[in-house]
Structure 1
Amino acid sequence: MTAPDLRTAGRTALLATFDSLPDVVAFRTGLAAVPVPGLTEVVSGARTLLLRFDPATTDAVRLRADLQRVAPVAAATAVDGAPLVVPVVYDGEDLDAVTDLTGMSPDELVAWHTSQVWTSAFCGFAPGFSYLTGSEPPLDLPRRPSSRTAVPSGSVALAGEFSAVYPRVSPGGWQLIGRTTVPMWSLDRDPPALAPAGTRVRFVDAGRA
């Protein structure tokens, strides 16, 4: 990957812009392995990382120099602990539609979804909604022709290059392939999001209803 474009974002942050989402994820994964004095927060986007720093400890010039020491790491190869395990019942309303689009059987689709390590690239849309990228080539599935007005909480879904779990009942147009009882958002946790950016996730087949 090429070095990110670094620009100041106010008095206490740098905005790093990358060529692709995998570059963002790889740099953030590498950043976790390198102590950077004064770095207080990293906020992921689809092509960016917002890097906030403590001006009492560092400044933009020193932070730029420290970031040059970061070696990008493919998230799926990271060894800092086991992935978060999310059991899924694969009986989603769009399961048949997805198998028609991909030419896979239901068993093949479940095997594809459970055989890889997923990484939370960034969060958005709703609190606790993590955009997960996989370690296998994506299916690049289209969204549904029309969105649902209420997707059930815990729905496991696919769209484009991503998988996700809906953290609460909300509108949505992703393809629903299953469901889980794992709460992705809870104010009783710190942080409330179960899979903030950088979290590795593995789905497991909990059987079908």
Structure 2
Amino acid sequence: MSHRILDAGDAALTIEFGNVIDPALLAAVNALDAAILRLQHGGGLPGVIESMPTFRSLTVFFDPLVTDRDTLLPALQPLIDAVEHCTPTDGRHWQLPVCYEGEAAPDLAEVTSTLGIDAAEVVALHSGTEYLVYMLGFLPGFPFMGDLAERLHLPRRSQPRVRVPAGSVAIATGLTAIYPWESPGGWHLLGRCPVPLFDARRASPSLLAAGDKVRFVPVSADEYRALEAGLRRGEIDPMQWCVADASSASEAAA
């Protein structure tokens, strides 16, 4: 796997592994991100502030008064070389409830009409796929997930909404996502998930992380309302929808 180094001003550089959305590129990005964090925890890479992963690249931010590109690149190169042949690691597995009914699914009828398939098939296709979380972005905790069933591929809406309700489950192009907050948005809304994806009070505020896998479980409107109320009152732990993590999956395989 090749890579290239791109300057991003005088206080950042980007390591780019490719130009497509692909699990192999995600594996390289996540492995490099983890390697940099480990080295920082050990006292290495002085001047590095943080790293920001995307689908296919990692941007490293640094203090130009402490280090510079010429100093940083030789320290990063062994880490880059080590991850170019890495294999994807198994993140956590989630089964998140989604209501595909009524006001929770404002675009479902339009999607079925555009695609020429009925609502039941749209729901079956969307909930019948296990999605890989490629990255978080746009909003805190917003997961970009792929790969959506090809039958459901649609461009973004021609007229974005000013307000998309928090928890909305949406599709666009070959991706699906969940809006953690109310915000503008141009994706097609198929349902709504009651599980909060971001909580600043948690040790890890974002519920999902790049490398996790997500499957959606259809629930009725009544079930959605009950789950939403229980979560709001603190009676339900959001982690209950994490059905396996990397360590437990490894133990089960052994």
TM-score category (smaller protein): 0.7 to 0.9
2:158 aligned to which of 124, 133, 145: 145
| 1:191 Cα deviation after fit | 2.3
The residue number in structure 2 matching 1:201 is: 214
| 1:21 Cα deviation after fit | 2.2
The residue number in structure 2 matching 1:154 is: 167
Please give the TM-score of this superposition, normalised by the length of structure 2: 0.66
Answer yes or no: is the 8 Å Cα contact 2:30–2:53 preserved in 1: no
Q: Where in structure 2 are the equivalents of 1:1-209 lying within 5 Å?
A: 2-7=1-6, 14-17=13-16, 18-22=18-22, 23-31=24-32, 38=39, 41-51=50-60, 59-70=72-83, 71-74=85-88, 78-80=89-91, 82-91=92-101, 92-134=105-147, 136-137=149-150, 139-207=152-220
Amino acid at match of 2:54: G
| 1:93 Cα deviation after fit | 0.6
Larger Rg: 1 or 2? 2
Range that drifts further, 14-23 or 147-156: 14-23
| 1:129 Cα deviation after fit | 1.5
Using the aligned pairs only, state the percent identity. Answer: 33
Kindly indicate which of the two structures has a greater share of residues assigned to helix: 2
| 1:173 Cα deviation after fit | 1.6
**Separation in structure 2 between the aligned mates of residue 203 and residue 29 of structure 1, nearest angstrom:** 24
Point out where structure 1 has 5 or more consecutive residues left out of the alignment.
Answer: none
Amino acid at match of 2:145: L
Q: Provide closer, same or farther for how the CA distance between residues 73 and 135 of structure 1 changes in structure 2, counting only shifts above 3 A.
A: farther
Answer yes or no: is the 8 Å Cα contact 2:135–2:143 preserved in 1: yes
**Separation in structure 1 between the aligned mates of residue 79 and residue 120 of structure 2, nearest angstrom:** 47
Count of residues in correspondence between the two structures: 203
**Separation in structure 1 between the aligned mates of residue 171 and residue 13 of structure 2, nearest angstrom:** 32
Per-residue CA deviation, residues 87-119 of structure 1 (Å, 9 max, x unaligned), is 101120101111222233222222222222222
Point out where structure 2 has 5 or more consecutive residues left out of the alignment.
Answer: 42-49, 223-254
Please give the TM-score of this superposition, normalised by the length of structure 1: 0.79
